[in-house]
Amino acid sequence: MANLLPSSTRIGSTLAAQPRHPLAHLPTPLEPLTQLTKTLRQQGPAPELWIKRDDCTGLAGGGNKTRKLEYLIADAKAKGADTLMTFGAIQSNHARQTAAACAEAGLACELILTRQVPSRQEDYERTGNVLLDALCGAHLTLTEPGSAKNAAQQRQDQLEQSGQQVYRVPAGGSNEIGALGYVQCLLELWEQLLDKQLDCQYLVHASSSAGTQAGLLCGLLGLAGELSTEAAAQLPRLLGVNVYHPQEQTLAQRIESLCGAVAQRLGLELPTNWQSNILLDSSALGTGYGVPTEQTLQAIRLLAQTQGILLDPAYSGKAFAALLAQIKRGAFTNAERVVFIHTGGAMVLPAYVDTLTPP
Ligand SMILES: Cc1ncc(COP(=O)(O)O)c(C=O)c1O
């Protein structure tokens, strides 16, 4: 493994020059999943599994949006905003972390939350992330599918009439500013792998609004461009598990355009045919966003019962289910190593009490 520390790379120094409002507990731990690996190897070949604990970023329950919000809050402040407005599903983890980030940064928080997950019980709109949004002082507007745009404009007009300056953050914090958080995560992870002298063949994570995957991919491509050809060939491949889009192509296109925009912001030249590195697995989506499959529930139980680590039914549980299915199909050997990037989500669990309670 090539010994080029992120701090001495061009991508590391360009990133360090980007305005950032510190919020997260970093670096998040990189831990072996020893018990789980042992359990899986009793059934057949399995890679050595590790986990990058981005569920432990620290802000009101943590998760992947905290890294993005470090850059978004810095930009909002630089632009003189006093109010952040963002969007998500009712149980959005992004909304919860935005509410918490605003509280810490002294900004007002406006959440436009859409009822986009079908037929959930009453608890779904009262517990989990929605409860925490309100606890952190956010103002909530609940809307039906198709009405978020109008509801947001109406609310923004109202706020501006009373003198507030609103900064809009897209759903998932996924633009070229938020995605910088995952360029930074990739460099942090690379440094941890070097430090522990671990080779790694794959990184796997949940993907929906594309910012996490675009940032990680941009970080990988940036690093690859600075390493020798041999060393670059040893970098892990990145696999995003689609947990949102009925058409996988929609997600692939978003990753492509966002990764391009992040690269431009960082002054990186991407290699020809870099798009072939956009790897997706949509096999765990089931009937749709936010609806866990039987495999999702099994994956959540397996990780909780072998490692005491909590996944969620909409994102990390589905991503982990896809990884387990690949292992079961024999996609990896015992000689390989895979890092699962845990993007968080467990704050939602109480809202799925009906689905998760054993019969
Ligand atoms: C827990 C969790 N994991 C993964 C993701 C996906 O990240 P991204 O939207 O950057 O693709 C989200 C997005 O909301 C999330 O809440």
Same structural domain for residues 308 and 291?
Answer: yes
Please tell me the distance between residue 126's alpha carbon and the centre of ligand 1 in angstroms: 21
Across the range 331-338, mean pLDDT stands at: 98
Cβ within 8 Å of residue 114, ≥6 positions away: 87, 88, 89, 90, 142, 143, 144, 145, 147, 148
My answer on whether 332 and 198 are in the same domain is yes
Instruction: Tell me the whole-structure pTM to 2 decimals.
Output: 0.98
Q: Which of 104, 139, 173 is the last residue of a domain?
A: 173
Task: Average the pLDDT over 109-117 and give the result.
Answer: 95
Please indicate whether residue 97, judged by its CB atom, sits closer than 6 Å to ligand 1.
Answer: no
Are 167 and 129 part of one and the same domain?
A: yes
Number of other CB atoms surrounding residue 325 within 10 Å: 15
pLDDT at res. 5: 75
Query: Based on the domain organization, do 144 and 182 belong to the same domain?
Result: no
pLDDT of residue 103: 98
Q: How many CB atoms lie within 10 A of CB 231?
A: 15
Is pLDDT of 121 > 80? no
Selecting among 92, 174, 209, 316, the annotated active-site residue is 92
For residue 257, what are the contacts with CB-CB under 8 A and spacing of at least 6? none
Residues 239 and 343 in one domain: yes
C-alpha to C-alpha distance for 181 and 67, rounded to whole angstroms: 5
Residues 145 and 82 in one domain: yes
Q: Is 37 in the pocket of ligand 1 (CB under 6 A)?
A: no
- The residue range of the domain holding 148 is 65-173
pLDDT in tens, 200-230: 999 999 999 999 999 999 999 999 999 989 9
Tokens of 106: 């002294």
Q: Does 197 map to a domain?
A: yes
212 CB under 6 A from ligand 1? yes
The average pLDDT across 242-269 equals: 98
Q: Best of 64, 68, 180, 216 to mutate for ligand 1, by most ligand atoms within 8 A of CB?
A: 64
Whether the Cβ atoms of residue 235 and residue 272 lie closer than 8 Å to each other: no
Angle at 77 between CA 72 and CA 80, to 5 degrees: 130
Q: Would the CB of 181 count as within 6 Å of ligand 1? A: no
- Told to judge if 276 belongs to the known catalytic residues of this protein, a careful annotator would answer no
| The pLDDT value given to residue 120 | 65
Position 41 pLDDT exceeds 80: yes
Question: How far does the centroid of ligand 1 lie from the alpha carbon of residue 172, in Å?
Answer: 7
Cα-to-centroid distance, 162 and ligand 1 (Å): 33
Same domain for 150 and 190, yes or no, is no
Look over the chain and give the mean of its residue pLDDT values, rounded to a whole number: 96
- Atom number in ligand 1 closest to CA 210: 11
Asked whether residue 183 is domain-assigned, the answer is yes
Q: Is the pLDDT of residue 20 over 90?
A: yes
Give the sign of the dihedral formed by CA 219, CA 225, CA 229, CA 230: negative
Q: Does residue 1 form part of some domain?
A: no
In the sheet with 83-89, reading across from the earlier edge strand, the strands are: 139-143, 108-114, 83-89, 166-169
Confidence of residue 119 (pLDDT cuts 50, 70, 90): low
Q: Is the pLDDT of residue 2 over 60?
A: no
Rounded to 10 degrees, the C-alpha dihedral 181/182/183/186 comes to: 130
What distance in Å separates the CA atoms of residue 90 and residue 101, rounded to the nearest whole number?
Answer: 18
The pLDDT score that the predictor gives to residue 335 is 98
Q: Is 172 in the pocket of ligand 1 (CB under 6 A)?
A: yes
Report how far ligand 1's centroid is from the alpha carbon of 237 (Å): 19
pLDDT at 359: 66
**Digit-coded pLDDT (tens) for 288-309:** 999 999 999 999 999 999 999 9
* CA distances to 1, 70, 130, 132, 153 from 83, in Å: 45, 15, 19, 18, 14
Q: Are residues 343 and 232 in the same domain?
A: yes
Portion of the chain with pLDDT greater than 90, in percent? 91
Among 209, 303, 347, the mutation site with the greatest number of ligand 1 atoms within 8 A of its Cβ is 209
Count up the domains in the chain and report the number.
2
Whether residue 162 is contained in a domain is answered as yes
> What's the whole-number mean pLDDT along residues 155-182?
98
β-partners of residue 202 are 237, 338
pLDDT at 358 over 90: no
Which atom of ligand 1 is nearest to 178's Cα? 10
